[in-house]
Structure 1
Amino acid sequence: MNPVEQRFSAVSTRIDQACGTAARTPADVRLLAVSKQHSADAIRALHALGQNAFGENRAQEALQKMAGLSDLSIEWHFIGPIQSNKAKDIAQHFDWVQSVDRAKVLRKLAAYRPAPHRPLQLCLQVNIDEEPQKAGASPAQLPELAALAAALDQVNLRGLMCIPTAGADASTTAASFRRMVALQQDLNARGHRLDTLSMGMSGDLELAVREGSTMVRVGTDLFGPRPPRT
Structure 2
Amino acid sequence: MINIADNLKAIHQDIINASNNANRSSVAVSLLAVSKTKPVSLIQQAYDAGQRHFGENYVQETVEKVQQLAHLTDITWHFIGPIQSNKTRQIAENVDWAHSIDRIKTAKRLNEQRDSNIIPLNVCLQVNISGEESKSGAKISEVTELAEFINNCPNLALRGLMAIPAKGDDEVTKQSFIKMQTLFNQLQHQYPSVDTLSMGMSNDMTIAIDCGSTMIRVGTAIFGARE
Q: TM-score, normalised by structure 1?
A: 0.95
Q: Residue 52 of structure 1 corresponds to which residue in structure 2?
A: 52
Q: Residue 195 of structure 1 corresponds to which residue in structure 2?
A: 195
Q: Residue 25 of structure 1 corresponds to which residue in structure 2?
A: 25
CA contact (8 A) 2:198 2:213 kept: yes
User: Can you list the C-alpha shifts for 1:10-55, whole angstroms capped at 9, x where unaligned?
Assistant: 1111111111111111110000000000000100000001100000
User: Can you list the C-alpha shifts for 1:51-77, whole angstroms capped at 9, x where unaligned?
Assistant: 000000111001111111111121000
Letter in 1 for 2:131: E
Counterpart Cα distance in 1 of 2:3 and 2:19 = 24
Q: Residue 177 of structure 2 corresponds to which residue in structure 1?
A: 177
User: Can you list the C-alpha shifts for 1:73-102, whole angstroms capped at 9, x where unaligned?
Assistant: 210000000011110010011000000000
Counterpart Cα distance in 2 of 1:28 and 1:186 = 19
Counterpart Cα distance in 2 of 1:191 and 1:68 = 36
Q: Residue 214 of structure 1 corresponds to which residue in structure 2?
A: 214
Q: Residue 138 and residue 2 in structure 1: after superposition, are their counterparts in 2 closer, same or farther (change >3 A)?
A: closer
Letter in 1 for 2:136: A
Letter in 1 for 2:43: I
SS in structure 1 of the partner of residue 216 of structure 2? strand
Identity %: 43
Counterpart Cα distance in 2 of 1:219 and 1:176 = 22
Q: Residue 96 of structure 1 corresponds to which residue in structure 2?
A: 97
* 1:202 positional shift: 0.6
Q: TM-score, normalised by structure 2?
A: 0.97
Letter in 1 for 2:122: Q
Which runs of 5 or more structure 2 residues have no equivalent in the other structure? Answer: none
User: Can you list the C-alpha shifts for 1:118-151, whole angstroms capped at 9, x where unaligned?
Assistant: 0000000000011111000000000000010011
* 1:193 positional shift: 3.8
Letter in 1 for 2:34: V
Q: Residue 137 of structure 2 corresponds to which residue in structure 1?
A: 136
Instruction: Provide the alpha-carbon RMSD of the alignment.
Output: 1.3
* 1:2 positional shift: 6.5
Counterpart Cα distance in 1 of 2:179 and 2:91 = 29
Q: Residue 126 of structure 2 corresponds to which residue in structure 1?
A: 125
Counterpart Cα distance in 1 of 2:170 and 2:198 = 18
Q: Residue 145 of structure 1 corresponds to which residue in structure 2?
A: 146
User: Can you list the C-alpha shifts for 1:149-201, whole angstroms capped at 9, x where unaligned?
Assistant: 011111010000000112x1111111111100111122233445421100000
Counterpart Cα distance in 1 of 2:181 and 2:5 = 33
Q: Residue 115 and residue 193 in structure 1: after superposition, are their counterparts in 2 closer, same or farther (change >3 A)?
A: closer
Q: Residue 77 of structure 2 corresponds to which residue in structure 1?
A: 76
SS in structure 2 of the partner of residue 202 of structure 1? coil
CA contact (8 A) 2:157 2:193 kept: no
Q: Residue 165 of structure 2 corresponds to which residue in structure 1?
A: 164
